Amino acid sequence: MTIVGVDDTDSRSLGMCTTYLATRLGERIQEAGATIERRLLVRLNPAVKHKTRGNAALALHTDLSADRAFDLAREEIAARSIGEDPRTSPGVVVADVDPDDAGSVDATGEDRGIPSDVVRFAKGALRRRHELSVTHSLLESHDLRHAGFAAEGCDTEGRGRIGALAAVGAFAAFEEWTHEHIAYREFDRCGTPREVDRDSVFEAADSAYSTVWDTVDRGADEAVCVPNAPGPILYGIRGDDPDACRAVAERIDSEPVDRSATFLTNQGTDAHIEPGEIGSLRDGAGYQVDCVVLTEPETRRGGHVFVELASPDLLAQPDSLDPEFVDPDAYDPDDRLLGAAFEPTKRFRDRVRDLRVGDRLTVCGEVSHRDGSDRSSEAPTRTIKLEKFAVRDLVRTERVNPTCPSCGRSMASAGRDQGYRCRDCGTHAPERDRRPIDRDLEIGWYEVPPCARRHVAKPLVRGGFDAPIHPER
């Protein structure tokens, strides 16, 4: 079996997109008399800077010989992707291995399956930044065919080999897979407005929800399956079942579909998220973190909402949800995390605004170091871009000054450690009262809406979460 990995072929000037290039390459391979067993669309670390959009890399699994597949891939890249965009740095990697037999070697010591360090590299590509030099050493040590290209003015030749090698290792690196059926436009229409009937998209989406997800955003009234970016994709239908994705695509009325392909993908799987703890989070990686809300949520300029979080282990009274036991000053900036719900996350920000000091949560998202623009050096050193959070426990009462039993007015403090007193009636109460508060949040998981979903983030409706879910659709 041959695995062909390709990446970084987008060219603004040629209107290219790597999924399209892989689709065309797949057709060339079929024309050469071979079969395509799988098309992988692999999302890599969303925090990587050189990505054009969604940091996708592609792999084809085929029975064509590795030499012939390598020739065809180089021809397709040369013909389709070297435009004038100086950021385009295509790469191709070809391995002659069995994708179902990861880590195994034959009697002569040759890799029969995907080498285990390539599998690790693919896993790492979701949560780290790999260097081209490291990629190169791996390619050489396994004697893999590879080629790099560069558009004029590009500072790196063949940076796409990083993603291409990750795509080669992906099938053995990830356990959870979903599907996307992509329909492409007639190529000379690229750059013109897409003609897709909105109502047919919403009806088609309803017909297969929730097997098929993130086709539309009902709250934002947006057909999210239709991209805005220039390029050949007309729409992409994502879901848990490839036939259901294709059936939804069939129901959509649109301009002519030139060609289409169904990909196996790690989209919608949270493959970028691992458990972590505040105080030991790495920049540029995705985490799931248990925490307690430390400050009232704050809406800042631009409509972005921020809330400070801290590890529950450091609470003054670990079993208490009482905000009085949450003391932001007790935490230094490294022990705090700034939860951010940026403006594009739309209605999700209301869920974040509903949080109160003392609420216990599990939050998921990508962590980055505080940028220089953040106001004070007292601010948390790290930010987590919230993708979803689980409410584990809610503060349900607040402390208020006691009410005078005679006049019904609020009592005032009688001095330090002296309780409360009604100035008019002289009545006395030893401590503050507790008053129940209405909470709009419930226990369970909340998420950004489909219009703000990162490709790799898992929609709640897919299930498998450890608490009730409140899915956005």
Q: Which residues form the interface with ligand ATP (CB under 6 A)?
A: 7-8, 10, 17-18, 44-45, 48, 50-56, 89, 125, 128-130, 159-160, 162-163
∠ at Cα 9 (212, 75), nearest 5°? 115
> 470 forms bridges with which residues in the sheet?
446
Q: How far is the CB of 56 from ligand ATP (least distance, A)?
A: 4
58, burial (CB in 10 Å: exposed 0-12, middle 13-18, buried 19+): buried
> Considering the complex, what minimum distance in angstroms separates the CB of residue 15 from ligand ATP?
11
Q: Are 249 and 176 in contact (CB under 8 A)?
A: no
Is the Cβ of residue 286 or residue 339 nearer to ligand ATP in the bound state? 286
CB of 363 vs ligand ATP, minimal distance in Å: 23
CB of 55 to ligand ATP, least distance (A): 4
- The residues, ordered by sequence, that sit 6+ positions from 175 with a Cβ below 8 Å of its Cβ are none
Copy the structure tokens of residue 183.
Answer: 């329909």
Pick from 198, 117, 206: nearest CA to 165: 117
* Nearest to ligand ATP of 89, 178 (CB atom): 89
Residues in the chain: 473
Q: Cβ 284 to ligand ATP, closest distance in Å?
A: 9
Instruction: Find the shortest distance in angstroms from Cβ 53 to ligand ATP.
Output: 4
Query: Please, which residues have CB within 8 angstroms of residue 468's CB and are 6 or more apart in sequence?
Result: 442, 443, 444, 445
> Smaller CB distance to ligand ATP: residue 154 or 355?
154
Residues in CB range of 271: below 8 A, 6 or more apart:
43, 126, 174, 176, 456
Nearer to ligand ATP, 237 or 338 (CB): 237
Q: What is the CA radius of gyration of the chain?
A: 27
For ligand ATP, the closer of residues 112 and 136 by Cβ is 136
Nearer to ligand ATP, 22 or 204 (CB): 22
Tokens of 196: 């897709």
CB of 44 closer than 8 Å to CB of 56: yes
Tell me the three state secondary structure of residue 40. Answer: strand
Residue 375 Cβ, how far from ligand ATP at the closest point, in Å?
Answer: 31
Beta carbon of residue 468, minimum distance to ligand ATP (angstroms, whole number): 33
Closest CA to 93 of 4, 10, 24: 4
User: By C-beta, is 285 or 411 nearer to ligand ATP?
Assistant: 285
Q: Are strands 91-95 and 259-265 parallel, antiparallel or unpaired?
A: unpaired
Residue number, 395 or 451, with CB nearest to ligand ATP: 451
Task: Look up residue 256 and give its two tokens.
Answer: 């002519």
The residues pairing with 445 across neighbouring beta strands, listed in sequence order, are: 390, 469
CB closer to ligand ATP, 308 vs 387: 387
**What is the smallest separation between the CB atom of 165 and ligand ATP, expressed in angstroms?**
8
Secondary structure (DSSP) of 74-119: HHHHHHHT--S-TT---EEEEE-SBTTSTT-B-TTS-BSBS-HHHH
Q: What's the closest the beta carbon of residue 89 comes to ligand ATP, in angstroms?
A: 5
Q: Cβ closer to ligand ATP: 11 or 288?
A: 11
Is the torsion defined by CA of 223, 229, 233, 238 positive or negative? negative
